[in-house]
Amino acid sequence: MYEETTNGIKVTVRPFYLDDQSDPDSGHYVWAYQVRIENLGGETVQLRNRHWRIVDAAGRVQEVRGAGVVGEQPILNMGESYEYTSGTPLPTPSGIMGGTYEMERRGGERFDITIPTFSLDSPAETVRLH
């Protein structure tokens, strides 16, 4: 598991390789990742946007930006958490990914929190990138 806390918001990520959706012979590797966002701070916040940076083993970079996560823009009161699962394919047997979530306070102030950089490793890969 990978964790990062920014401005009282803790993000925990657990990646896992999806063998049943991957086809190494065709250069297609798929991972899912479970994310938990916890509001440890003293005020209500809403997740507005996401920005992911995905790097495969060949060094190719993919940037993904968009509103919310899995079609939602969750509101987290003090002490609340939100969990979701998503996934990503790669053409290589390993890679890394990380990024930021843009959060908004009730007064409209927006700020970024860090999504910890995490390693995507398939059983076919013996060298770990992270």
Max Cα distance, the chain (Å): 52
> Which pLDDT score is estimated for 125?
62
Contact 50, 73 (CB under 8 A): no
- Close Cβ partners of 97 (under 8 Å, ≥ 6 residues apart): 33, 52, 53, 54, 55, 88, 117, 118, 120
**CB-count exposure of residue 68 (10 Å: 0-12, 13-18, 19+):** middle
- Integer Cα distance of 74 and 38 in angstroms: 11
pLDDT at 130 (0 to 100):
52
pLDDT at 61: 97
Q: Is the pTM of this model over 0.95?
A: no
State residue 123's pLDDT score: 84
Spell out, as residue ranges, where the chain has pLDDT lower than 50. 129
Structure confidence at residue 91 (pLDDT): 96
| Residue ranges of domains in the chain, CATH in brackets | 2-119 (2.60.40.1470)
Tokens of 43: 């005020």
